[in-house]
Structures are given as C-alpha cells and as structure tokens.
Amino acid sequence: MTRKDTKLVEGGRHPREQFGAVNTPVYRASTILFPDTETLLNESQAYTYGRRATPSTRALEEAICDLEGGARTALTPSGLSACTLAILAACSAGDHLLITDSAYGPTRHFVEGTLKRFGIEAEFFAPNIANVEKLFRANTKAVFLESPGSQTFEVQDVPSIAAAARAKNIAVILDNTWATPLFFDAFGKGADLSVLAVTKYIGGHADVNAGAITANAAFTERLVTTHGEIGLTLAGDEAFLALRGLRTMAVRLKRHQETAMALARWLQSRPEVARVLYPALETDPGHAIWKRDFTGASGLFGVVLKPASDKAVAAMLDGLKLFGMGYSWGGYESLIIPARFGRTHKTFKPEGPVLRIHAGLEDVEDLKADLAAGLERLGKTA
Ligand SMILES: *Cc1c(COP(=O)(O)O)cnc(C)c1O
C-alpha cells in the first residue's frame, strides 16, 4: 500500500492514455460519439456522455477515492452541493436526520429549508454530545457530522457517534473539509459518506468551486443513483484545477499548519484576546479527541476577542494589508472574517466578538505584524 503523500502524486494519473502527458488534459465534452449502434445501445465504451464523466473528471474522482480509501467518489459543482447530495442520498421523505449544531451555515439552511419541504425532519444536537443514541428515533436515517465544526471549531467524537449509529443502521455522513483525508481518516473512523469542499484545500488557490462525496461499498449505489438522477456534474476545467491543486496539498497543508499554530500561540499571548479556537492547542477543549483521532491540523481557526465594539472590530479588520476579507478558505492566501453562526444549543458562549482566520502561505512574521497593527487599532477604538 502506498502512503497518502504518494497517492496525492500518483492518484488518477494515466500518462500512457494521454500520449505521455503527465497531467490529464482538460476535456471539454458534452457529446461523446459512439462508433456503431451496438456500442451505443449497450453503452459499452468507457465514456458515454459528458455529464456522466470525461477523462478529466474521472481522474479527479479516482484520485480522491484513492486518497479517502472509499469505494466510489462522485463530483459536484460546489462543496455545498456535495453536502446536500450526501443527505439526499441517505434520507427519504418521513425520515429524521440528526445534524451537529456546528455545521457549516449553508448546510444548516438547506436542512431547515429545502429538506423540510420534502418531508425530512432535521434535529440539531450539541457537538460535544455524550450519548447521541438518546436522540435516535425509529425513523432516524442519518447523522451528519462536521469535525471540527464551522466557525466554533468544536471537535466531535466521530468514532463513538459512528459506532452508536452503525448499531442502529443509521448512516454517518461526515463533512471532512477542515482536516482533509490527509489529517482525518473518515472511513477508518466510521463514516459511510465523506464530503469534501474541494474548493478549499484540494483546489488550494481560490479559483475553483467543486465538491466530492465518497461512499463506502454499502452506500455506493445510493450515491451513484442519486447523483446521476439529480444531474450534477463538474466541468473539465474545474476538475483540472482541482487535480492540479491536489498534487501539492501535502506540502501546502504542512505549511498552513505550522503558520496557524504559530499565529494561534502568538494570539493567545495578546491582551486583546480571550481565547483561541484551534484543536491543536493543548488548551483547546477538543484537544484530547483531536490528538487521538487526527494526524494534523489545517490552517483555519477562530479567535474570541475580549468584549469590543463593532466599530473597534471594523477598525482592526479594515486596515489589514495581508489578510483579505472574503468567504471560503484553503487557498494560498490569508483571510479573516467576523464569524457568524446560528445555534440551537447554547453550548458555545463567546466572551466577545469571534473572528475566523485562515493562515496562508505568507511569511509568518509578516502576518503577525499585520495582526499586531490591527489589534493596536482595535484597542484604540471605543
Ligand atoms: C466551504 C465549505 C463548504 C462548501 O463549499 P462551497 O464550494 O463553498 O460550496 C462545505 N463545508 C464546509 C465545512 C466548508 O467550509
């Protein structure tokens, strides 16, 4: 068995099928021709229609599936559509879905909106829940996890939740975008469906939206059928960019991790900061589980400031030179945004404003200097 860093380089590559080209080129194809009626009627050739697959999308599917260690991967045009498709593949009308209260905001909106319209009831549970089985009902069909969760970085006990779910034949869906398959082994820890926003660390350059869902053998047919019937597809150009990013993900993540850790420790020492939300820090409430289950931490973390006015926070953020303000993360560049989250349970109580930081690949001392100047502005503004 090859190790993950090798899989990142080798996965999905077939140079001999591409005239020796190292990278599978961009295939822009909707119609794919059949040589004769028999081949058409039996669909007995490798590619049949662009929406279903081209060599570009199949290369990415294969590479992600290999890295995840799953049975089959399906690609979607965004990370969000990967989250929603995973839920649609697992649940039917009349079913009950359990979902972590710290799930990505748009996933939350989907289950509260569209999913409800189709007669599937979603119930949020506190991410640090000890006995998830207490919430199981006769019609509970799936548990949706995201660890650590968006904005608040609470770590979930995925193996224990997954074991309880498996005992009742309940599907476990995990949004593994933060850790990536490099730092968290979704299937090894009990997931049935692993979701990735490819947009983030796989793409890695803030220039592509894409998603991937990988299923174990038991959920492969459901995934493939639902994906095909809904008609989701990924363009060849996007698949190419995602693959290009994937090849260097291990080296980028290593650096994102180093810089995030250095910034997290430095921020902990600042008088303006109440606490830092990053499971790799020994002081983080999720540290023990993170240490047990993860093999690394990525570059995204939260900072809880001591109480400060909106004006003071704006003064800090508006003057930053290296940290851009914008959605998404996982690119080579540093980002910062004020965190916003809807919660059902009051298990997360911030002392003051919460910021979300993505540590990019810039020099860490430059990043500290930029944040230090920002914190000075914060302190000087009432
Ligand atoms: C960004 C993100 C998504 C969605 O990805 P998009 O490509 O923006 O749709 C899903 N889950 C998590 C945890 C994310 O951070």
DSSP 254-284: HHHHHHHHHHHHHHHT-TTEEEEE-TTSTTS
| Mean predicted confidence (pLDDT) in 207-223 | 98
Q: Closest Cα to atom 8, ligand 1: which residue?
A: 79
Share of the chain above pLDDT 90, in %: 98
Ligand 1 atom, smallest distance to 328 CA: 1
**Predicted confidence (pLDDT) at residue 1 exceeds the cutoff of 80:** no
What is the reported pLDDT for 341? 84
| Two tokens, residue 200 | 């983030």
197: three-class secondary structure by DSSP: strand
0.85 surpassed by pTM: yes
Please choose from 177, 184, 301, 340 the residue to mutate so as to test ligand 1's pocket, defined by most ligand atoms within 8 A of CB.
177
pLDDT in tens, 176-201: 999 999 999 999 999 999 999 999 99
On average, the pLDDT of the chain sits at 97
- Mean pLDDT score, 51-62: 98
Give me ligand 1 centre to Cα 143, in Å. 18
pLDDT, tens only, 363-380: 999 999 999 999 999 999
Q: Name the strand (E) or helix (H) holding 22.
A: none
Q: Which member of 95, 101, 157, 175 is catalytic?
A: 175
Over range 96-118, report the average pLDDT: 98
CA 88 – ligand 1 centroid, Å: 17
Q: Which residues pair with 74 in a beta bridge?
A: 213
Residues with CB under 6 A from ligand 1: 78-80, 83, 104, 146, 150, 175, 177, 197, 199-200, 209, 211, 328
Give the residue, out of 76, 213, 328, 335, with the most ligand 1 atoms within 8 A of its beta carbon, to mutate for a pocket test: 328
Whether 21 shows a pLDDT value over 90: the answer reads: yes
CB 40 within 8 A of CB 34: yes
Tens-digit pLDDT profile for residues 127-148: 999 999 999 999 999 999 999 9
Q: What is the mean pLDDT of residues 257-264?
A: 98
Both ends of the chain: CA-CA distance in Å? 59
Q: What is the mean pLDDT of residues 260-270?
A: 98
Active-site option among 200, 252, 275, 356: 200
Pair type for strands 211-215 and 72-76: antiparallel
The pLDDT of residue 267 is above 70: yes
Q: From CA 146, how far away is CA 191, in angstroms rounded? A: 11
Q: Mark whether 175 is an active-site residue.
A: yes
- pLDDT tens digit sequence for 59-78: 999 999 999 999 999 999 99
What ranges in the chain are assigned the alpha helix state H?
Answer: 4-10, 37-42, 55-68, 79-90, 105-112, 114-117, 158-167, 180-183, 220-230, 236-246, 249-268, 287-293, 310-318, 364-380
Kindly report the length of the chain.
382
Instruction: Point out the ligand 1 atom lying closest to the alpha carbon of residue 81.
Output: 9
Torsion of CA 53, 58, 61, 66, to 10 degrees: 150
Distance CA 295, CA 309 (A): 38
pLDDT at 90: 98
User: Degrees (nearest 5) of the Cα angle 214, 218, 219?
Assistant: 45
Q: Which domains does the chain have, with CATH numbers?
A: 4-247 (3.40.640.10), 250-380 (3.90.1150.10)
For residue 23, give both structure tokens.
């990278």
208 CA from centroid of ligand 1 (Å): 12
Is 104 part of the annotated catalytic residue set?
yes
Residue closest to 106 by CA, chosen among 170, 190, 194, 175: 175
Q: Which long-range contacts (CB under 8 A, 24 or more apart) does 17-23 make?
A: 17/55, 18/55, 23/240, 23/243, 23/244
Asked if 85 and 35 touch (Cβ cutoff 8 Å), the reply is: no
The first and second tokens of residue 164, run together, are 């309880």
Q: What is the pLDDT of residue 156?
A: 97
